Structure formats: C-alpha cells, structure tokens
Chain A
Amino acid sequence: DAKTTQPNSMESNEEEPVHLPCNHSTISGTDYIHWYRQLPSQGPEYVIHGLTSNVNNRMASLAIAEDRKSSTLILHRATLRDAAVYYCILRDHTGANSKLTFGKGITLSVRP
C-alpha cells in the first residue's frame, strides 16, 4: 500500500485557520486521497476526499499538489470541537484493494 507521512501533532488557536499537511510521494494514479478524523471515544468520521482537483465541502477544504505527492487539509476556522486525530489515507479506487490503511495521524489540539 502507498504510505502517507504526517506530523505527529499540531496546535491551533480557536477561530484561526488550520493547515494539516500530508505527504504521499508514492501515490499511484488510481489512489484517492481521503481524510478522516477521530474524536475522543468515537469512531472515525469522514471529512473529505479528492483525486486531482482541490475539493471543498461544509467541513473543510482539500488542497492537492499538482504532482499529487502531497495534500493539505484546511479547516477554515478551528473550533474546540475540531480537536481530534486526523488521518490522511490513500485508497485505491479500482476495486483491487479498497481497504483504508490508517497511519498514526495528526493529533490536533485547539487552544481557546
């Protein structure tokens, strides 16, 4: 499976934007980039995914580098409820091997 590399932790101030980076230099052409987050005592929660173009939804934005070797999850205004572990995952969309391979993720702390 193609691997992703993320920093172990990041801190942010409430109501400020947060940029969470992810490196995936071995990404293949059929891999989607998925982001999930896991709040304490809950299962992971889907945040966003993309293939080549930048993506926006109500939760976040995903900026994908032109060479697709890295991406950034952007939370436009962090709230205390955004404190969680954020996972960047590559997922082969062809059906050959579609499991989600979770790394250790980024632990995001939000300061009030």
Chain B
Amino acid sequence: KAGVTQTPRYLIKTRGQQVTLSCSPISGHRSVSWYQQTPGQGLQFLFEYFSETQRNKGNFPGRFSGRQFSNSRSEMNVSTLELGDSALYLCASSLGQVGRNGYGYTFGSGTRLTVV
C-alpha cells in the first residue's frame, strides 16, 4: 500500500512569505503528526491531529498552524517565514487513536524548506 506522501519535496521561499505543506497519510490512518528536523535541534514535535481536531501541540510560535480534512489529509502552514524556519518538515501517520495502544507511526520522506 502507498506510504505517507508529502508534497512538495523541496521548496525555496523568501523571508516574510508564507508556505503550505501537504501530507497524505496511509489509507485508513486517522492520526497525523508533524515534526520539524534541523541539524541543531533535531526532531521536534509540532502538532498532531485526529479526526480533524488538533489533539496535541508542541512549543512552536503561532506562525505554525495546521489542519486536517475529513479524508485525514493534513496541511501545515507557516506564515511570515524566518531564516530559522529552514528545515526538513516531516509528517507521520498512525492507525490508532492518539496515544492509544502504543501504535507506531509511519513517516513520510519530508519537505525540505529553505528560507532565503
């Protein structure tokens, strides 16, 4: 079956612009999480959605937002981009309800965002 699909794979934006990243989870998966990966900070949790509701949020400013649609696809948006937002943004989907039964996550290959 198809894995987690993230689009686009690469993106270059200018400071001050906004960007929207897309994630299509594995069919049947209803939980979608977003992570930011940078060389300095490693992998950091952004937020998690289940059934179109944000269930958990990391420590990122309000410029970072997300949403989930009825088909479980998710988007994340970053407004007023800063140079420090340059990172690999990873999406992960999970079968079970958030936190229940220890389900594992399947990650996509990520979107590489460069802010210039």
Q: Given the complex, which residues of A lie within 8 Å of B97, measured CB to CB?
A: 95
Q: Number of A-B pairs whose CB atoms are under 8 Å?
A: 67
| Chain A 13-49: CB-based contact to B (< 8 A → 1; otherwise 0) | 0000000000000000000101010000111111001
Give A98 to B32 CA distance when docked, in angstroms: 12
How many residues of B are counted as interface, with CB atoms below 8 angstroms from the partner's CB atoms? 26
Q: Given the complex, which residues of A lie within 8 Å of B100, measured CB to CB?
A: 93-95
Interface contact A103-B42, CB-CB below 8 Å: yes
Q: Taking the complex as formed, is A69 at the interface, i.e. its CB lies under 8 A from any CB of chain B?
A: no
Closest B-chain residue to A104, C-beta based? B42
Interface contact A94-B102, CB-CB below 8 Å: no
Q: Taking the complex as formed, is A100 at the interface, i.e. its CB lies under 8 A from any CB of chain B?
A: yes
Interface of A is mostly: loop
Q: Given the complex, which residues of A lie within 8 Å of B44, measured CB to CB?
A: 102
Q: Taking the complex as formed, is B108 at the interface, i.e. its CB lies under 8 A from any CB of chain A?
A: yes
- B: which residues have CB within 8 A of A? 4, 33, 35, 42-45, 48, 55-56, 58, 90, 92, 97-102, 104-110
- A: which residues have CB within 8 A of B? 32, 34, 36, 41-46, 49, 51, 87, 91-104
